Amino acid sequence: MKYEVIDAVIAPKGQLETLSQFEVSRILSSSEGALAKVFRDCSLAVLNCGSPLDDGKELLARYPDFSIKVIQKQRGIKLELKNAPAIAFVDGELITGIREHLYAVLRDVLYVHNKIVHSPRFDMQVSSDVTNAIFHILRNANLFEPGEEPNLVVCWGGHSISTEEYDYTKEVGYQMGLRDLDICTGCGPGAMKGPMKGATIGHAKQRSGEGRYIGLTEPGIIAAESPNPIVNKLVIMPDIEKRLESFIRLGHGFVVFPGGAGTMEEILYLLGILLHPDNRDMPFPLILTGPQSATAYFNLVDRFIRQTLGEAVQERYQIIIDEPARVAIEMQKGIQQVRKFRKTRGDAFYYNWVLTVDEPFQRPFEPNHINMSSLNLTREQDTDQLIANLRRAFSGVVSGNVKESGIRAIEEKGVFELKGDRAVMQAVDELLSAFVAQQRMKLPGTKYQPCYRIIH
């Protein structure tokens, strides 16, 4: 099938509008060198906004002739697009939000490469340096508003959800918008878009001005979850681990809607952090919620958490079913506790420096066949290590489902193997099987072939 494409030259708006000649030359050299593919693939994902597609490999195959080139001008730079997806244009003009997202890609990919990865000031093997590097990436993206009271709610959930679940995420977002709460998500469709869409109405009714709709993504996932057009602050983090830490450093409270393997990865990451002894007294509102039809889903998730992590972990979250207004009220109350705690500890409202994040939750995990089969999924280890490894297992399933690199690895070498204690693996198997049955692994209408095999 042939997809309609457009050629265009666009100028920056809101990003990279004033640059020195040195900065321009550095952008030119970087965009044509080792970073060219990352920049091109992320740019294509941004231009694919609104397309019902969650397959990174398929997206790249649809537009094999797409190219993006940085052009030097006297007053800065422009971007030349060739064979770009027509879906990103209206009457021949690139949608403004998508143009902003394109320049955000350029900003983040080059900044991380030049100022973080290849900078002597950050040692990515040192935990404090990782946290500091994340701070610099987010600050460079103008995400911090020091004068703002805590009001940022991170919303997690799947891209493949039912219409009823999607409508529920909008209603929760609306209720939070009425209470002047801003939204941060993984920036894609489904449960990542719904809360933002609802919040825009709530903010408009309260005459709150333009709300913050922050989207955090990374190069591996952006092609499968193209940024939705409501996002007005887009940041591309270098990998999934730094993306996850960004969420918990930025957010003042968390709402989790129904989702699949990626949502479970996020839940495990957050619970692993909250169970650390240094963080146990820290207020951190976490609400799992959905419509009445999602009751069985959250019962399953709750059972999995208790079976693998123990009963005590239930103290760190609450489950609220089919009560959008209550979710917003409880979140607002929880964020007030966060405010008091931050003031007492002298911590910033816009970045949670006090939170302890250990190395197992920061070290990038490459989900290849060797690493997946080598994961220790037994109870013969500390709980924090088990949580970290379970998180990696779900991360690998996400990669095999939707990421270009993971899909290619499965095609070449077969499915990933996961093995461990019978009780642990049975719990994982039950949960993933339910996700498959409920069509949470891929968008409905897509025939799903498991990318994993569970070995008891």
pLDDT in tens, 51-88: 665 555 677 778 888 988 888 776 667 888 999 998 88
pLDDT of residue 11: 80
Question: Where exactly are the structural domains of the chain?
Answer: 5-119, 125-456
Mean pLDDT of 135-142: 93
pLDDT of residue 112: 82
pLDDT at 31 > cutoff 60: no
Mean pLDDT of 124-138: 93
pLDDT of residue 114: 75
pLDDT of residue 116: 82
What is the CATH class of 125-456? alpha beta
This prediction's pTM? 0.92
Alpha-carbon distances, residue 77 vs 20, 70, 80, 278 (angstroms): 10, 7, 10, 47
pLDDT at 18 > cutoff 80: no
pLDDT at 30 > cutoff 60: no
Lowest mean pLDDT among 24-33, 107-116, 184-193, 389-398: 24-33
What radius of gyration, in Å, describes the C-alpha atoms of the chain? 21
Are 134 and 350 spatial neighbours (Cβ–Cβ below 8 Å)?
Answer: no
The full length of the chain comes to: 456
Q: Specify the CATH number of the domain 5-119.
A: 3.30.1850.10
Share of the chain above pLDDT 90, in %: 60
Average pLDDT, the chain: 89
Phi and psi for 24 in degrees, rounded to 5?
-60, -45
pLDDT at 421 > cutoff 70: yes
Range with top average pLDDT, 41-55, 85-99, 273-287, 442-456: 273-287
pLDDT at 373 > cutoff 90: yes
Mean pLDDT of 400-412: 89
Mean pLDDT of 269-293: 95
Instruction: Give which of 355, 336, 100, 343 is closest to 247, Cα–Cα.
Output: 355
Which residues touch 165 (CB under 8 Å, ≥6 apart)?
157, 191, 257, 258, 290, 291, 293, 294
Mean pLDDT of 263-280: 95
Phi and psi for 236 in degrees, rounded to 5?
-105, 105
pLDDT at 316 > cutoff 90: yes
